[in-house]
Structure 1
Amino acid sequence: MVPQNPILLIMAPMPDSFRLGDLILPQDGAGPVAFNRAKFPGIEAIEAVLAGLSFTLTYHRAEEARQFSSEGKWDPIFYSPPKQPLPAIGITLSDHIISAKHDSTVNKTLLQLARIIGEALEAKSVVWQPAKLHIGFEYFTEATSQYSDGGPFPVLVQIAISESAEGIFQTSGLSYFSGQEMRLSAPSDYPPNQVIKRLVRIAHDIASNGKIDTPIEAEGFVPGEMLSLTPSSDLAFVDIAIAASSPRQLH
C-alpha cells in the first residue's frame, strides 16, 4: 500500500510537468541509491533503496503539499516559508523497517536519503511531520550530516520544543522514537536557554536509549543540581523537575 502521509517531505521547485519516474540522482544506477521504478505501477510512487534499507517515495504537487507546510501549522526552523507552496517528494519507511524507526542506523539512512534527493533537486526546505517542523534545507543538511558522521542526535531537526504559560517546556515528536514525550520544569531563575539545553540533552538520551519507565533521581549538569524524572502511569510522558541549591553556575 502506498502511504498517504509521509513522515518527511522535501520541498523543492519542480516544474508542473515533473513526474517521480523522472527523478535522477547523481550517478543514477551506480550511486548509493537504487530505484525500483516498477514496484507501484500506475501510481506516483517508487521504491528507493539505500544501504540495504528500502523507502517509499511519493510525489505531492504544490496544492497538495500546502497542508504540510501551511503557516501556523508548522514551526519554521531557519526558514521562511514562501507565499506560494512548493511541490514535495515524500519519504516513508517501508513495512520491513517501520518497527525499527527508532534505530539510529534506520534514522541516519532516512536522513541521508533526504539529503541526497534534496541536493539533486536544489531543495528549499524539509518538513518533518512527527514534530511538525519546517526546516531550511541548508540547516537540515548541516545538522543531519554531523549526526551521520558520529555527531549528536539532531534534536532541533526532529523534535519540537515549546513552552507553556506555566513555564513548563514540552517536547513534540520525541514519541516517534521512544513512545514518550517530555515535560520539564525548572527553577524560575533559570534562563530559558539553559532549560532548553538540558531538555535537548535528555531528549537525546531518551531518543537513543528508549523511554523512562521508572522514577529516577540523578545528578544534573552542574554541581548542586538534581534531576527528578517521573514517568506517567501510561509512560506516554515523563515529567522532569530540575532542583538546584544556591549558589550555582550555569554554563
Structure 2
Amino acid sequence: MDRAGERFASWQEGIAVRREAGLTLFFAPTAGGTDAERLPGRPARPDADAIRALAAESGKVVSFSISHQPKDHPYWVELLALGLTFDLRGLAPGIGAQVAAPGHAFGLPLADARGLECVVLRTGPHLASAGSLMPIVRTMAALGCELASLPGLVGIGWEPAGTIMAPDYFRTTAGAWLEGGAFPALGFTALARSPAGAMRSIGLGFFLGHELELAARPGESPADTARLAVRLIHDLVQNGSYSPGDHEGPTGDVLHCSFNADMSLLHIVR
C-alpha cells in the first residue's frame, strides 16, 4: 500500500477540522459606491460584466464561463470550469466579501494587504464538502490564474493558509504546479519559525488533516530548514503523509516521524 493509502482513517473520515477552500481576490479600495467616487487611478472590485468579458477570453490556463447570474442578486456569479462550479462573491456594485486579514505575504509586502476590498472564489454548494480534493483545488488554482489579469487586482489569497500572493507570483507558482511542477508550498501553505528554530507549516492541515513541524539541525540556517520544509510539504501533498516511524526523506535523510496526542501535528527530526 502506498503512503497515501496508509493515512489514518480518522483523517479521511473528516475528524480533522478543515477550513473552507477559497481564493480571495484583493482589490484597491474605493471611496464610495459609484464610479465618480472611486479613488483616482485605483480600480475597484470588478462587476459581473468584467468577469463575463474575462471569461470570453479565457483559456490560457483553463476556459471558464458564467453558468448562472441571479437577477435579484447581481453581486455574485457562478463560474463553470472543467465541469465544476464555483461561486464568485463580492462583485461591484455590492459590498465586498468579508474575510480574515492575511497573515503571510509572498511577492508583495504584507502591509500592502491592509484596507483592501475582497472578492471570494469558493466551491459551489454541492462541492463544499469535497473542497480539499486535489482536482477541485487544482481547478480553483487554474481559475485563479485566469482571474489574476483582472484590472486593479493587488493580490490573490488562499484562505486555508491565510496568505496573500502577488498576481504574478500566483500565476508563476500555481501555473508551474498545474504543469507538473512543485506544489506551491509558499502560498498554498506558509511557514512559521519556532523559538527553537523548527519550521511549522500553516495550512497543510487543509490537505492532510495535520500540520508539519520540522526540527532544525544544530547550526543549520533558517533558510536551509525552510527549504527542506518546502520539499517535505510537496512530498506529503503529492504522496500522502508519513506514518509514525523512520522514513527516507526527499533529500535522502532519515526522518524520524511522530505525532502529537491528537494527531494534529507531525513532528519530524533528522
Which of 67, 79, 87 does residue 117 from structure 2 map onto?
87
Which of 227, 241, 244 does residue 269 from structure 2 map onto?
241
Which of 138, 158, 161 does residue 188 from structure 2 map onto?
158
Q: Which residue of 1 aligns with 2:53?
A: 25
User: Following TM superposition, by how much is the alpha carbon of 1:14 offset from its aligned partner in structure 2, in angstroms?
Assistant: 7.5
Q: Which residue of 1 aligns with 2:104?
A: 75
Which of 184, 187, 190 does residue 217 from structure 2 map onto?
187
Does the residue aligned with 1:217 lie in a helix, a strand or coil?
strand
User: Are 1:217 and 2:246 counterparts?
Assistant: yes
Which of 65, 76, 91 does residue 34 from structure 1 map onto?
65
User: Following TM superposition, by how much is the alpha carbon of 1:197 offset from its aligned partner in structure 2, in angstroms?
Assistant: 1.7
Q: Which residue of 2 aligns with 1:232?
A: 260
User: Residue by residue, what CA displacement relative to the aligned partner does 1:154-179 show, whole Å, maximum 9, x if unpaired?
Assistant: 11111010101122211110011111
Does the residue aligned with 1:166 lie in a helix, a strand or coil?
coil
User: Are 1:55 and 2:86 counterparts?
Assistant: yes
User: Following TM superposition, by how much is the alpha carbon of 1:21 offset from its aligned partner in structure 2, in angstroms?
Assistant: 2.6
Does the residue aligned with 2:126 lie in a helix, a strand or coil?
coil
Percent identity, please. Answer: 21
Q: How many residues align?
A: 233
Q: Which residue of 2 aligns with 1:245?
A: none
Counterparts of 1:93-242 in structure 2, within 5 Å, are: 93-212=123-242, 214-220=243-249, 225-242=253-270
User: Following TM superposition, by how much is the alpha carbon of 1:19 offset from its aligned partner in structure 2, in angstroms?
Assistant: 6.3
TM-score, with length taken from structure 2: 0.75
Residue 21 to residue 220, structure 1, CA distance change in 2 (3 Å): closer
Consecutive unaligned residues of structure 1, counting only runs of 5 or more, are 243-251
Residue 125 to residue 83, structure 1, CA distance change in 2 (3 Å): closer
8 Å Cα contact 2:28/2:152 also seen in 1: yes
Report the residue type matching 2:265 in the other structure: F
Q: Distance in 2 between matches of 1:165 and 1:150?
A: 35
List structure 1 segments (4+ residues) > 6 angstroms apart after TM superposition.
60-63
User: Following TM superposition, by how much is the alpha carbon of 1:58 offset from its aligned partner in structure 2, in angstroms?
Assistant: 0.6
Residue 40 to residue 187, structure 1, CA distance change in 2 (3 Å): farther
Residue 160 to residue 30, structure 1, CA distance change in 2 (3 Å): closer
Backbone CA RMSD of aligned residues: 2.9
User: Are 1:10 and 2:25 counterparts?
Assistant: yes
User: Following TM superposition, by how much is the alpha carbon of 1:43 offset from its aligned partner in structure 2, in angstroms?
Assistant: 5.9
Report the residue type matching 2:83 in the other structure: G
Q: Which residue of 2 aligns with 1:246?
A: none
Consecutive unaligned residues of structure 2, counting only runs of 5 or more, are 1-19, 35-44
User: Residue by residue, what CA displacement relative to the aligned partner does 1:74-114 show, whole Å, maximum 9, x if unpaired?
Assistant: 22211134486332221111233333333332112101111
User: Following TM superposition, by how much is the alpha carbon of 1:229 offset from its aligned partner in structure 2, in angstroms?
Assistant: 1.0
8 Å Cα contact 1:25/1:117 also seen in 2: no
User: Residue by residue, what CA displacement relative to the aligned partner does 1:135-166 show, whole Å, maximum 9, x if unpaired?
Assistant: 11111111011011111111111101010112
Between the two structures, name the one with larger relative contact order (CA 8 Å, sep ≥ 6). 2
User: Residue by residue, what CA displacement relative to the aligned partner does 1:25-50 show, whole Å, maximum 9, x if unpaired?
Assistant: 33529862121333574262211111
8 Å Cα contact 2:87/2:123 also seen in 1: yes
